[in-house]
Structure 1
Amino acid sequence: MADHVDLVLGQWGAQRPDLDVTPMAVIGRLSRVSRLVGNELGKTFAAHGLDSASFDVLATLRRSGPEHRLTPAELMRAAMVTSGAITQRLDRLQARGLVTRTPSESDGRVVHVSLTEEGLALVDRTLPDHLATENRVLAGLSGADLGALAGLLRDLLESLGDTVPEELVPGRGEPAGRGFPGGGAGIPDGTPAEGSENEFCESPAEDYRAPSVGAEYAGHGRAGGPAGGRPKVVDEEMLARARELRAQGVPVAEIATRLTIRTGKNAGRPPSVASLYRALAE
């Protein structure tokens, strides 16, 4: 059995045998999975009179504590879109009576966006079907496979700087749906950090400024952006060894297999290739 990406890799292997197209095996499949899964989720949202963008806003408000309230700026950072895009979403949702926008009592320059009773009821009706769809599209993988995949994807996101401090994650370390890490989309108690991740994290619009999100949720300084700076898993000794091997012409992917993380939850494992590339690019 082969998939479309196997075909693409075979074609590149025949046309450009001088290139290592191994990354396409991962990136190509991530792209295709995202599109296929997005289509299935979209059908579920449409059955409830929503689209993915509208559900993003409603779901982000729903899990933002008992008041279900955020500012437009917080929603904008969560959705990684421009202020114009979030304004359009809020206009549509307010016109349907699903959200309200009210001035802050303490600062008239600030507006709060809140779920209405109708909006709360709608997102609560949609969420079980949304989770059922997610379970259906993942049904081809075992619980062990899902756990391994979730862990690998988390490692990839961490290597790209997409992290939050663990103390901000409610219930960290507790089981999460189907017995694999990150498997559930349950609604945590408590208020998330300002600018917390939305349900889908859309691609940034062209005029979106990524460094501001880096300061909000990636755990880096504003100047560094979401992918700036050396990953914390790569210490000075590892970096020196990596540079030595790199100077000898050893590929980065092979260098990663020769190194071992010494501290933290990934201790004893090799660093990811992406994190090593970032460290070497300092």
Structure 2
Amino acid sequence: MSDYSGRHRPPTRAERRALERRSRLPKSFSATYALPTAAAVTLALTAVGATAAESSPFSGEVAEQAAASLSATTLLEDPQLGKDARIEVAAASRDSSGLSERRRAVSDDVVDSQVRAQERADRDKKRKELVAKKKAEQKAEKSAAGWVRPLASGSLTSGFGFRWGRLHAGVDYGASVGTPLRAMGDGTVVGAGPMSGYGVYIDVEYADGTVSRYGHLSSVAASVGQQVAAGDTVAYSGNTGRSTGPHLHLEIRPGGGEPVDPTGWLTERGIL
């Protein structure tokens, strides 16, 4: 059929229908199916955001932020977008940004709390390790039978034997004035105070009847009749009596009798 209808002839019915078909919008774009502006913007924002999130190399909150930012930017740059829709998109973008900042703040608080908790745990662990180390050192000081050395540290400076025409009835340990002296085992204080030649002394009797005597003390820290345990401080070293310098004079008296060379007794108990 020709499009030309002549100068004065009106279009026929068939021609009018053909023209209407050409100008008619698709059914999906008719008023019945058109979405309100706000709903259309929301759908567009959701669709673009989902696409960005799926294709993003990030994950979690980073991907959400990237998708939201990309959606808002894309829609705001659309020349077909109305003024009201632009306002809604911008508001949605601000809300998304604020939510991300709040999430980040909460995340930072959680991290800080975890760091502080870990620091406390580390400090507690170090304290426990120090306590355990100290106990292990104290335990190591004891022999298998539960004996300890009279001093925490110190070396022998003089042995048992005759010296200058008289018997040196014990062994000497170098120690400055005021050094704590310990009971070598569980026992009872059976003597303490001043004595000629010894200056200030203290005697401790152990379960097997052996008596240890500490001489030339500056002071005693236990009284006669007191029960003491291995490692308890019973006196402090000094330079009293017949002494040429501060030290501990130690004698071993089996059964409370005459002194013997302490070396063998100390060696047998692993505390020489």
Q: Give the TM-score category using the shorter length.
A: under 0.3
* Relative contact order higher in (CA < 8 Å, ≥ 6 apart): 1
User: Which structure has the bigger radius of gyration?
Assistant: 2
TM-score normalised over the length of structure 1: 0.25
Structure richer in strand, relative to its length: 2
